[in-house]
Amino acid sequence: MKSKEFYKIKPYTYFILRKSDNLKYHGVRWANKESPIKDFALNYFGSSKSNKSFCEEFKRNPKNFFYRICWTFDNKEEAIEYETKVNKKIFRRSDFVNKNAFPAILLDEQSIKKISEAKKGKSTSTTKHKLAVIESNKTRILGPEFRAKCSKINKGKRFSKEFRNKISRSKTGIKLTNSHKKNIGLGVKGEKNGMFGRTHSTEAREKISKSKIGKTPWNKGKKYKTGNIPWNKGISWKRKINRKELNSYV
């Protein structure tokens, strides 16, 4: 319950206004070991993370600011709940410095640049987190609704040439172990294969055929290290294949 018991040691909310430009800040304090009247603007000067200079200036020159204690609360949870309620109303306003106020974060260019610099060269996930994600994905089953949603979102999208080259460079030189290759093979074998029990339509085949015209096969001129022979090696077609006739055998 909120009250105005400023002489008791209780969590409290406060308001600060800079006189020069009317820039404001609303905050909460719950770790005080003294009453709000003895704590605020004497030992504590605010905790703005999005604009530290605002609170630092308030600490150096409190005379340039108007400030007051707003409310006191019986416990920390009540104080945070009230601050959150207020922040939801003010965090988008240009006259408040509460840009990174919980539960919403409104990042400006300065904040984005600061986060970017702090994250540079650091891994976004720990090894423990990566392993947990891998394990969870092993048993993850995607439902038809989710697949349809992903299909709809990605339909018609095409990566730029620059992005494709970037992916290509990141994969260059990576060698898979035999066990890794075997696991990939098992993962797309039989019923696990996306084309299991299905065949391409005539339209799809024609589309694939047209997309390959003028392109050099990836294995042209390459020798087979394993000794495997392509299924169509040495076959000379005496006549042109009729697609409709071929479909009747599939």
Burial class (CB in 10 A: 0-12, 13-18, 19+), 5: middle
Average pLDDT estimate for 127-134: 85
Q: Find where tokens 């990836």 sit.
A: 218
pLDDT of residue 34: 94
CATH match of 12-113 with 3.40.1440: yes
Average pLDDT score, the chain: 84
- Note the pLDDT tens digit of each residue in 185-225: 888 888 888 888 888 899 999 999 999 898 888 777 776 66
pLDDT of residue 72: 95
* Beta carbons within 8 Å of 167's beta carbon, 6+ residues apart: 159
- Note the pLDDT tens digit of each residue in 82-123: 988 888 888 888 888 887 665 556 566 777 788 788 888 777
Domains of the chain: which residue ranges? 12-113
On the question of pLDDT at 161 being above 70, the answer is yes
Average pLDDT estimate for 141-145: 86
